[in-house]
Amino acid sequence: MEAFFTRQGEKAFRASQLLKWIHQLGVTDYDAMTNLGKGLRAHLSEHTCIGLPRIMHAQHSNDGTRKWLLRLPDGNSVETVFIPEAERGTLCISSQVGCSLNCSFCSTARQGYNRNLSAGEIISQLWIANREMSAFGQEQRVVTNVVLMGMGEPLLNFDNVVRALRLMMEDHAYGLSKRRITLSTAGLVPGIDRLREECDVSLAVSLHAPDDELRDRLVPLNKKYPIRELMAACKRYVAGQPRRRITFEYVMLAGVNDSPRHAYQLLRLLERVPSKVNLIPFNGFAGAPYETSNTSAIDVFRDILIAGGIMTVTRKTRGDDIDAACGQLVGRFRDRTRRSIRMQEMVRDPRP
């Protein structure tokens, strides 16, 4: 943006002024940006535009969680979820329309992959949440944390995701520290290494299984980047930074990955990686081939990890009354692959 302004013969600091108008004050009308000269405003109006997705549907959960279905200019749409807690407000944002990774327990996988979101479409989710909650121009932040845990695999949309992350961290925009931004990945090893070099926000890894045989079935990406390579990349990510940890996400699937034997295996796996574990009760959706583990199985699993010295929490399921919980985000999209129809047919007639 600085380069853009200097090309116009303007001072570079116009860039930070414009960022502040848009991202701190929520202003999208150039004419209201009074500290930019009249000529410059006219030039901006003529040559650039500030575009926003439209809210197609907004939902409020009984627990305060809010979900927005955003329509993009090409007719696709994605979902964004705000989760309020006592001490913080977390926004869960999407990075792709659909997802190509096909994890067997995730409803986003059912719609297949459609396309990457642009950096603008990613950051506009934060912008819209701020507007909807009247947070612009306020002293107190409403969105204090951002997690890239919505639809899509963020490391498969690396460049646009990093551009958006930089805006989140930029003082003249949202000013979030990298510790308050968490990128969650299904385990794309080269992407983890690149992220470490270019924008080392907090990292969460969707592990879900302690051995390759099982993980191949749950997270097919594991066939390309098996657990050993993934754990080595995690170690590199936090190397030399004594206080940093990787968060491992582990979805609890009844009778599949939730036995004490799995917990002990997981402990051994995490021995040499500074880690914490988030256990996620499986959130069901129509046609899902799994059930969530019961509370006592989850507690036993958690206690084994804690006794082994791993900080472990069971993630509270928030917003499931509005299908806003982990793995339930679907949006609406143009189905180029027709995968959802094939899936529905399979559920009705499961023969191969």
Residues listed for the chain? 352
Tokens of 105: 């327990």
Q: Is residue 283 near ligand SAH by the rule CB under 6 A?
A: yes
> Smallest distance from the beta carbon of 282 to ligand SAH, in angstroms?
5
Tokens of 217: 């079935």
Q: Is residue 326 near ligand SAH by the rule CB under 6 A?
A: yes
* Residue 60 backbone phi and psi in degrees, to 5: -120, 125
The span from the CA of 347 to the CA of 209, in Å, is 25
Backbone conformation region of residue 280, classed left if phi is above 0, alpha if psi is from -120 to 50, else beta? beta
Q: Is residue 249 near ligand SAH by the rule CB under 6 A?
A: yes
- Residue nearer to ligand SAH on the CB measure, 149 or 324: 149
- Residue nearer to ligand SAH on the CB measure, 28 or 102: 102
Scanning 13-21, 157-165, 280-288, 342-350 for contacts with ligand SAH by CB under 6 A, the matching segment is: 280-288
- Residue nearer to ligand SAH on the CB measure, 129 or 149: 149
Question: Among the options 99, 103, 234, 326, which is catalytic?
Answer: 326
Tokens 């270019």, residue located: 198
198 has catalytic annotation: no
Please provide the distance, in angstroms rounded to a whole number, between the alpha carbons at the two ends of the chain.
53
For the beta sheet containing 77-84, the strands, ordered from the edge strand earlier in sequence to the opposite edge, are 54-60, 66-71, 77-84, 89-92, 145-148, 181-185, 202-206, 246-252, 275-281, 311-314
Report the relative pairing of strands 54-60 and 66-71 from DSSP bridges. antiparallel
Scanning 66-74, 81-89, 101-109, 226-234 for contacts with ligand SAH by CB under 6 A, the matching segment is: 101-109
Burial class from Cβ neighbours inside 10 Å (0-12, 13-18, 19+) for residue 197 reads exposed
> Smallest distance from the beta carbon of 340 to ligand SAH, in angstroms?
16
Identified binder of ligand SAH from the candidate list 22, 69, 186, 233, rule CB under 6 A = 186
326 has catalytic annotation: yes
- Residue nearer to ligand SAH on the CB measure, 130 or 184: 184
Q: Is residue 323 near ligand SAH by the rule CB under 6 A?
A: no
Identified binder of ligand SAH from the candidate list 114, 130, 202, 206, rule CB under 6 A = 206
Using DSSP, state whether 317 is helix, strand or coil. Answer: coil
* Count of residues in contact with ligand SAH, rule CB under 6 A: 16
> Smallest distance from the beta carbon of 27 to ligand SAH, in angstroms?
32
Identified binder of ligand SAH from the candidate list 90, 124, 145, 184, rule CB under 6 A = 184
Tokens of 116: 């990457």
Which residue's C-beta sits nearest to ligand SAH? 327
The span from the CA of 177 to the CA of 130, in Å, is 17
- Residue nearer to ligand SAH on the CB measure, 52 or 297: 297
Interface ranges with ligand SAH (CB under 6 A): 103, 105-106, 149, 153, 184-186, 206, 249, 251, 280, 282-283, 326-327
Active site residues: 79, 326
